[in-house]
């Protein structure tokens, strides 16, 4: 016997989430139906989807476009910290260790899986770099590559570095200091470690 259509639709919706198989999707959907707090969850999802957008400059999730960071005239627009996820911006902002702007890739490249990289915000970064190099543009002097110190992070870093170099635009490229504990995500770092990683960032050039 099949589930009622509305429940089936909910299962399908869950099954679209990354890493969620059919079995888990069913379990989640059935749990939701039993949970009295589900209306709150449903409203929260609807509101979050409706009331957030993506910053056209840094691609971060925000309420107003451009986001608060990009709109802030006191931030150093000539320096851009490239990170994988919005949660990384959140951590760095909370630690108050970065005076510049950001560029959010919205993911990373997994070399084991291969596949497309177009969904990553690398093209947007190249555009920012090129726009800044044009007459009257907001010039970018330094790009800090702030990927996680893991395999995906390294692979992503190389992709971004290649893209930057392909523009031919004169820009200082650095990466966070190697003091980052291997495998630990940026969002879990303490303020001090994050501060050191940014302070001690080092120049990066493949050639």
Residues at the site binding Zn ion, with contacts judged by CB under 5 A = 55, 57-58, 66-67, 70
Query: Could you give the count of Cα atoms lying within 13 Å of 76 in the half-sphere of its Cβ?
Result: 12
Residue 128 in tokens: 């920012």
Q: Which is nearer to Zn ion, 57 or 198 (CB)?
A: 57
Cβ contact 53:27 at 8 Å:
no
Tracing tokens 């099954």 back to the chain, one arrives at 15
Q: Which is nearer to Zn ion, 23 or 94 (CB)?
A: 94
User: CB of 3: closest distance to Zn ion in angstroms?
Assistant: 42
Query: Could you give the count of Cα atoms lying within 13 Å of 168 in the half-sphere of its Cβ?
Result: 1
Q: Which is nearer to Zn ion, 24 or 78 (CB)?
A: 78
User: CB of 197: closest distance to Zn ion in angstroms?
Assistant: 22
User: CB of 72: closest distance to Zn ion in angstroms?
Assistant: 9
Q: Which is nearer to Zn ion, 77 or 147 (CB)?
A: 77
CA–centroid distance for 50 within its chain: 20
The H or E element spanning position 180 is none
User: CB of 157: closest distance to Zn ion in angstroms?
Assistant: 21
Residue 19 in tokens: 């890493």
């Amino acid at each position: 016997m099949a589930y009622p259509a509305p429940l089936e639709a909910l299962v399908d919706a869950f099954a679209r989430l990354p890493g969620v198989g059919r079995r888990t999707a069913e379990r989640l959907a059935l749990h939701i139906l039993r949970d009295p707090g589900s209306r709150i969850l449903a409203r929260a999802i609807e509101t979050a989807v409706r009331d957030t957008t993506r910053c056209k400059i840094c691609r971060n999730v925000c309420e107003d476009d451009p986001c608060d960071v990009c709109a802030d005239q006191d931030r150093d627009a000539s320096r851009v910290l490239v990170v994988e996820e919005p949660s990384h911006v959140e951590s760095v902002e909370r630690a108050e260790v970065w005076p510049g702007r950001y560029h959010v890739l919205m993911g990373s490249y997994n070399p084991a899986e291969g596949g497309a990289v177009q969904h990553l915000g690398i093209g947007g970064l190249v555009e920012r770099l090129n726009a800044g190099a044009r007459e009257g543009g907001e010039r970018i002097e330094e790009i800090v590559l702030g990927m996680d110190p893991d395999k995906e992070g390294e692979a992503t870093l190389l992709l971004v570095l290649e893209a930057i170099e392909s523009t031919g635009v004169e820009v200082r490229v650095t990466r966070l200091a190697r003091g980052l504990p291997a495998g630990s995500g940026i969002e879990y770092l303490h303020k001090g470690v994050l501060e050191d990683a940014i302070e001690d960032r080092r120049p990066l050039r493949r050639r």
